[in-house]
Amino acid sequence: MAFNMKALLGMLFVFIGCCSNVVFLELIIQIDPGAGNLITFSQFLFIALEGLIFTSKFFTVKPKIALKDYVILVLLFFGANVCNNYAFNFNIPMPLHMIFRSGSLMANMIMGIILLKKRYNLRQYSSVAMITAGIVLCTLVSSGDVKDNTHHTLRVDTSYSDFFWWSVGIALLTIALLVTAYMGIYQEVIYKRYGKHPSEALFFTHMLPLPGFLFMAGNIVQHLNIAVASEAVAVPVLSALGLNWKFPLMLFYLLCNVVTQYVCISAVYVLTTECASLTVTLVVTLRKFVSLLFSILYFRNPFTANHWIGTILVFFGTILFANVINQLKDAYQARSKRRFDTAPQPKKVD
């Protein structure tokens, strides 16, 4: 029961933390669209400092998992992100990029079959296909107004070269998708080898990449100055205490974004220790879907018939994946059996 409760709480905090994180991300981007590196660095620094103090205790606690495994995870993470970002240089439009990122559930299933020799039943295959189709449909419809912001640094002269560079971009997106799926599988493998240590994994996977941000130092400082110079507002909590302190609005949003990201990613790491990789990917994928729907409502975009079709596919696909109908049926049968067993039985007549 404790196992299920821990996993359930992890899923709950994934949705609470990650969805609220998206809200503060959107608020920051409205003020400064180029603040991506500042946001990422702030998140990594906060999580690394928290882990340094409470998990590693300033490196006095010996790691349970080998450092080389953490290095491999970090390299996989950076490799996937580099491929995703660099694909924009190869004539890949934003809608196609978003759709590829939505295929993580299917990719995880494929990698599980290839690497772990897992076998899934027809219900699982069908549910993953329905969820993937629903998210792709909603993403495609929602991204219809997104402009093609790709940076065409590689100029194309003919239709053949155009198709060639587009194919290179598709290859990069495919590699990123498979590497991300492999990263989830690899986490599952090392947890089986070393045991469950989500807090330690969270610390090392955020501490080790920090030196890489030195290459972005100029950009980070530039956007930090923009955040500091943003409109100053009174913080509601402090105002209630009678303190009329004002705080740069963007810095306040950034702080909220960092804290909610910590809640989100901590819950994801707990899930990686409690659930199979495919289940974790399902939860994270559904979280992205909920964030997409929330974004539609937040910006008051029209909720079209295609959105409804996509939502229905995701909803029924999730029910199918979780085997909810059979679980309810089993629970009802078990309850009926308990009632029968506890009911007064007629006395036997000799």
DSSP string, 27-89: HHHHH-TT-HHHHHHHHHHHHHHHHHHHTSTTTTSPPSS-HHHHHHHHHHHHHHHHHHHHGGG
Give the pLDDT confidence score for residue 310 in this predicted structure. Answer: 83
Average pLDDT over residues 156-167: 69
User: Do residues 287 and 14 lie in contact, with contact meaning Cβ atoms separated by under 8 Å?
Assistant: yes
> Comparing C-alpha atoms, which of 217, 223, 222, 183 is closest to residue 84?
183
In a domain, 220, yes or no: no
Give the pLDDT confidence score for residue 2 in this predicted structure. Answer: 43
Q: Who has greater pLDDT, 197 or 325?
A: 197
In whole numbers, what is the pLDDT of the chain averaged over residues? Answer: 82
Supply the range of the domain harboring residue 37: 5-146+158-211+230-341
Give the pLDDT confidence score for residue 92 in this predicted structure. Answer: 72
In a domain, 225, yes or no: no
C-alpha dihedral, 35 to 41 to 45 to 48, nearest 10°: 130
In a domain, 348, yes or no: no
In a domain, 207, yes or no: yes
Structure tokens at 159: 């239709």
Query: What sign for the dihedral angle of Cα 254, 259, 262, 263?
Result: negative
Q: What are phi and psi of 232, to 5 degrees?
A: -85, 130
Give the pLDDT confidence score for residue 138 in this predicted structure. Answer: 77
In a domain, 222, yes or no: no
Kindly tell me if the per-residue pLDDT of 147 is higher than 50. Answer: no
Lowest pLDDT segment from 42-51, 79-88, 319-328? 319-328
In a domain, 218, yes or no: no
Lowest pLDDT segment from 133-147, 165-179, 196-210? 133-147
In a domain, 223, yes or no: no
Kindly tell me if the per-residue pLDDT of 59 is higher than 80. Answer: yes
Give the pLDDT confidence score for residue 33 in this predicted structure. Answer: 85
User: Do residues 153 and 89 lie in contact, with contact meaning Cβ atoms separated by under 8 Å?
Assistant: yes
Kindly tell me if the per-residue pLDDT of 155 is higher than 50. Answer: no
Average pLDDT over residues 135-155: 58
Give the pLDDT confidence score for residue 70 in this predicted structure. Answer: 95
Give the pLDDT confidence score for residue 316 in this predicted structure. Answer: 83
Q: What is the band of 146 on the pLDDT scale with cuts at 50, 70, 90?
A: very low
Average pLDDT over residues 173-201: 90
Structure tokens at 243: 């303190």
Beta bridge partners of 248: 232
> Comparing C-alpha atoms, which of 284, 233, 315 is closest to residue 103?
284
Structure tokens at 126: 């069908």
Q: How many domains does the chain have?
A: 1
Those residues with Cβ within 8 angstroms of residue 32's Cβ, 6 or more apart along the chain or in another chain: 223, 226, 227, 230, 250
Q: Residue 232 in 3-state DSSP?
A: strand
Give the pLDDT confidence score for residue 5 in this predicted structure. Answer: 82
Lowest pLDDT segment from 22-36, 100-114, 132-146? 132-146
231-258: pLDDT as tens digits? 988 877 666 676 777 889 999 999 999 9
Assign 3-class secondary structure to 200-216: HHHHHHHHCCHHHHHHH
Assign 3-class secondary structure to 101-133: HCCHHHHHHHHHHHHCCCCCCHHHHHHHHHHHH
Those residues with Cβ within 8 angstroms of residue 329's Cβ, 6 or more apart along the chain or in another chain: none
The single-letter DSSP state of residue 17 is H
Average pLDDT over residues 40-56: 95
Rounded CA separation 260/175 (Å): 29
Kindly tell me if the per-residue pLDDT of 302 is higher than 80. Answer: no
Which pTM does this prediction carry?
0.76
Average pLDDT over residues 289-301: 73
Query: Which residue pairs from 160-166 have beta carbons closer than 8 angstroms and sit at least 24 positions apart in sequence?
Result: 162/91, 165/90, 165/91, 166/90, 166/91, 166/92
> Comparing C-alpha atoms, which of 58, 51, 2, 21 is closest to residue 198?
51
Rounded CA separation 198/269 (Å): 5
In a domain, 153, yes or no: no
pLDDT over 90, % of the chain: 31
Give the pLDDT confidence score for residue 150 in this predicted structure. Answer: 44
pLDDT over 70, % of the chain: 81
Highest mean pLDDT among 49-53, 101-105, 186-190, 279-283: 49-53
Q: What is the band of 63 on the pLDDT scale with cuts at 50, 70, 90?
A: very high
Give the pLDDT confidence score for residue 282 in this predicted structure. Answer: 84
Average pLDDT over residues 1-22: 81
